[in-house]
Amino acid sequence: MTKTILAIDDSASIRQMVSFTLKSAGYEVLDAVDGQDGLDKAKSNNISLVLTDQNMPRMDGLTLIRTLRSLPQYKATPILMLTTESSDAMKQQGRAAGATGWLVKPFDPQKLLEVVKKVIG
């Protein structure tokens, strides 16, 4: 069954790149422009993996992750934070919010695919 990935980033160019890369590898991709949009799309679709940026208007990444985790549908779904740094502080916050893992920006398509494959195959 095709897996659907939800990519959330307020940058259109990043969304396009991620979408293109993942679709080429056979995944279905939905994208969202900020946390709120991401939440709405997650609720009305069956998502296998969430990739979310942190700094976004309306609802930031950490809040989105916490909110998703409170929904029965997304209690255990893999959620990866797209973050610009891999500091201990980020890791602490991410883990506390319920993220499954992280990927540091800027990343290249190759790395993105490698990580996604590891997580949902």
Name the minimum Å distance from CB 60 to another protein. 10
Q: How far is CA 85 from the centre of its chain?
A: 16
Q: Binding to another protein by residue 105, rule CB under 8 A?
A: yes
- Which x/- pattern, by CB under 8 A, does the window 40-79 give for another protein? x------------x-x-xx----x--xx-xx----xx-x-
CB of 82 to another protein, least distance (A): 9
What sign results for the dihedral spanned by CA atoms 4, 97, 91, 12?
A: positive
28 lines the binding site for another protein (CB under 8 A): no
How near is the Cβ of 22 to another protein at its closest, in Å? 12
The CA-atom distances, in angstroms, between 23 and each of 42, 63, 66 are 18, 27, 27
Does position 121 interact with another protein (CB under 8 A)? The reply is yes
Q: Are 65 and 93 in contact (CB under 8 A)?
A: no
DSSP-assigned letters across all residues of 26-75: T-EEEEESSHHHHHHHHHTS--SEEEEESS-SSS-HHHHHHHHHTSGGGS
Residues that bind another protein (CB under 8 A): 10-14, 16-17, 20-21, 33-34, 36-37, 39-40, 53, 55, 57-58, 63, 66-67, 69-70, 75-76, 78, 80, 84-89, 91, 94-111, 115, 117-121
